[in-house]
Structure 1
Amino acid sequence: MLRVRMMSGGDVAALPLEELGDALGLTEQPDRPVRSLKRRLERQCGQPRFRQRLLCENGAVLQDDAPLEGHAELQLVLLDLGQTSQDQAAELIVAADDNNTSKVEILLQRPQDPNLAVRGHTPLFCAAFRGHLQVVSLLLEASADADKPRYDDGATPLFVACQYGHLEVVQTLLQMRADQDRDVKDGPTPLIIACQSNFVDVVRLLLAALADSNKADPIGGTPLSMASALGCLEILGLLLEANADKDRPQRDGMTPLFFACQGNDAEVVRILLDARADKDKACHDGATPLSVARQKRHEDVVRLLQVACDKA
């Protein structure tokens, strides 16, 4: 049995060694290192492992990769975040941007605030932008703010990960409850930007995290209108399954069906008509899906719309 006490003498935890790692599903389980214990203690003390120090019986600090065999009692010390200069903050950002996981680990052990920004960029934003999964995981473990935006446009780590299709980073951020609907200033949501780039698996993850399939950009464009305009068939299906509003227009009145008719995308038109999209809904200038298809001589689309009219 291993006991962990605060310096004041109060018990923090008492647990068999075999419960470490095994309970957490960690790779360190065979030798039960200090890292596993600190992750377990975070539940009790509320501080990440980077702000914990475990002292053995002789007062020596145990490193995170040290084994625990031979210890019966440890003392836990919780550290405040250290004073951090601008150069030190920049050092962590550079390490995160370069995917230097060992350097990031060392800097976080100072312990250093992972949320300090330089020129509006946080370490987590840079790592998410580059798609550096291990660095993202380390920073989140150090309590980095998953939603802290870039100062100029409000883009979050999740937004840039979706923008560049970094699937595993997106998944990790969503697991840490990053805001799946937070848009950039005067711009799109993570879901819209993923639709725009046709990142099907990213869209799937966002919808599984209950991203708002109808949240629009500043001109009223929705994820479904973006997918329809670009002909992203698989994404179109995912959005319809998520009950996206098939008839919601943007500010000029253009609906997803109108975009598909204008772009001569017969397959998108077919899918939307099968989903009972409103074939007669006009734009603000009075143009309808059928009139624009006729005007542009999109014969296949015109036939589809006429058949739909005949069935009505």
Structure 2
Amino acid sequence: MTRIESAELARLRTVRATDPGAVERAHLSRKRRPVIGADGRLFIVAADHPARGALQVGADPFAMANRRELLERLAVALSHPRVDGVLGTADILDDLALLGLLEGKVVVASMNRGGLRGSTFEMDDRYTAIDAHSAKQMGADMTKALIRVDLDDPATVSTLEATGHVVTECAAADLPIVLEPFISRRVDGRVVNDLSTDAVVHSVTIAAGLGATSSHSWLKIPVVDDMERVMAATTLPTLLLGGDAGPDPEETFERWERALRVPGVRGLTVGRTLLYPSGGDVAAAIDQAARLVHPDELPKEDR
């Protein structure tokens, strides 16, 4: 594990307290790169979970609450040459920029969601983090928005309206936006995402139609049973999301590998499954996923 020494963490805290302008300078001075490289693929490590109160990994309800440990795990991931970038809310991205860990990486700024897990307002997914103008100003390369559609909850229409606006704003700012849609419903008082193929097809078609233009829209979708049928529903560039780790990590990697072969799929965006792997070896988990996205010899089919 890459260590962030106590002195380095203390310097980070001191800079935040005494020189807030250092955050902007760190973002604007970082080395940039094209979003898509020569092989047309993208591997992004996701770390936007804490801002929506999703701190649990496995049996540990506060696994992602230790910021130093999270940053150390992200440092391991970002040191891998086949990891293209990171997805996070501004607080995560600001820490990484001040630590110099975003050099030559794709920065995906999460707009986050207002509907916190378990709250009475859970389906009120108004955007509470970065907006298109701020993302462009800080030098982000992409943004990300989550869209949960519950046909039984009137709050859904507000989410759809808000998302339409941010899609339009990102396109006007020449900023790609990654849309992560789900068909959701309440089961015994909890909001559950429907991971059937039919539901994912519906979510993809709804998300793709949001905004004044789809010119800058991407999709981020779960791996389900019939990915060919899902990808037949859209022409938008698509990333696979990792989701929570299953009981068999190797089966998870095999599902990703099969889905990555489907035309239109451009890569992976994975968080807890790789940052907090069951075996504890972050570097090995990251390397295994990176080789799926960026193999030494790419398949010849159109991507």
TM-score class, shorter? under 0.3
User: Larger Rg: 1 or 2?
Assistant: 1
TM-score by length of 2: 0.26
Bigger RCO of structures 1 and 2 (CA < 8 A, at least 6 apart): 2
